[in-house]
Amino acid sequence: MEPSGFKTKIAVVIPKYGLVGGGEQFALQLTEKIAQNPRYDVHVFANRWKAVSENVSFDFVPMLRFPRFLTTLSFAFFASTAIARQNFDLIHAHDRIFHADVFTMHGVPHRFWVREVRKKRMSLFDRATAWVEQRLIADHRCRFLLPVSTLAMEKFSREFVVDPKRVRVIHPGIDFSRFDLSDRAEKREEIRKKFGIGGGDFLVLFVGMNFELKGLQTAILALAKAKAKLPGKVLKLLVVGKGDQEKYRKIAAELGVGGEVVFAGVQSENIEEIYAASEVCVLLSGFDTFGMTVLEAMAASLPVIISTQVGAKDIVIDGEHGFVVAKDDAETVSAHLVALCDEQRRARMGQAARQRASEHSWDEVAGKVVTIYEEILSAGP
């Protein structure tokens, strides 16, 4: 595959570019970094997008949303048609399409997701989506598969026969500068006052858009157990995100911590200030392909307590940056919360977590992906 013209033309494909969602933000941050390189001419093929710079060109891809089973099929078909009209040197897909040279896997195999996580039967939409996915992975022209975590890689390896030489785990990056708050103490005070949390309270943070999947019930139970072990110590759990608040308020009340669990709702702006107001972040998901909350919390100098089913465990050394536990083990989580009430230990782990997070800048991620691009381009067709 020879570069055309003076620049290497890269097609990046994703239905929603730069909008809400971990995969969408990953694609935006990575693509914008790569597009800064004058060697590349980057075109994004999307149905919807958020334009950030003039370094990226956009091409609209239609998508049929009714009947629903045509959603993935139609996007894959129209994207392939649109790309074929131009001469691209490399195609990088961030979602399921018919052909790409590089496929970043932001999730897990669709069949696994439906069967093991959602615990549903495969609908016509699910079958169509799984078929497109299988076609892309089986295509010998797709040189590299880039799962965002070892956990995701393991699930794909079980679902498909994949040559390990084609697979390279590329974790998400982070804008580390967002978490350098010069007025951290002031913001900490503001956030705590806003949510009725005392200055001396030990604040545990939970961030998630699916309370059940992200393990909120285990977090509440762990808080109740930790409270029983620390008479006189005020522990609070700040819940940021979207879910059935009434259900979990009831659970908290039944466990005797109704007043200690505070629901903040969705906080899309200045989330770094909320991290700064907290002592520790918990994510006890039943399954999470990566879990950007973990990387963000670490960048904010917070120790993390995560389940073994969170892909971000790749970057967490148990006992050094936080703790990795079984998803339903509230007793062990409570013991870790008690241990982290030790200010010196918490500070030491928080500093180590921040150092670890600093190794995952978007520049680092883009550098790894560009190396893969060049490997493909130099190999030829």
How confident is the model over 224-270, as pLDDT tens digits? 999 999 998 999 999 999 999 999 999 999 999 999 999 999 987 88
What pLDDT is attached to residue 1? 45
**pLDDT per residue over 322-335, tens digit each?**
999 999 999 999 99
Is 26's pLDDT higher than 60? yes
**pLDDT per residue over 1-16, tens digit each?**
444 457 999 999 999 9
Q: Which amino acid is at 85?
A: R
Phi, psi of 371 (to 5 degrees): -60, -40
Cβ-contact 277, 186 below 8 angstroms: no
Are 56 and 180 contained in the same domain? no
Are 157 and 190 contained in the same domain? no
Are 87 and 145 contained in the same domain? yes
Q: What is the mean pLDDT of residues 183-212?
A: 94
**pLDDT per residue over 258-310, tens digit each?**
999 999 999 878 899 999 999 999 999 999 999 999 999 999 999 999 999 99
Residue 73 lies in a domain: yes
Q: What is the mean pLDDT of residues 160-182?
A: 92
Start-to-end Cα distance in the chain: 4
Are 339 and 296 contained in the same domain? yes
Identify the three-state secondary structure at position 174: strand
Q: What is the mean pLDDT of residues 123-140?
A: 96
DSSP 113: I
Residue 1 lies in a domain: no
Placement of tokens 């989580």 in the chain = 333
Domain count, the chain: 2
Is 336's pLDDT higher than 60? yes
What is the C-alpha to C-alpha distance for residues 15 and 145, in angstroms, rounded to an integer?
19
Are 97 and 223 contained in the same domain? no
Is 132's pLDDT higher than 50? yes
Find all residues with CB under 8 Å of 195, minimum gap 6, and list them.
Answer: 238, 262, 264
What CATH number is attached to the domain comprising 215?
Answer: 3.40.50.2000
Are 118 and 33 contained in the same domain? yes
| Structural domain for 50, as ranges | 8-173+361-379
Name the pTM for this structure: 0.92
Placement of tokens 């399921």 in the chain = 96
**pLDDT per residue over 45-64, tens digit each?**
999 999 888 999 999 999 99
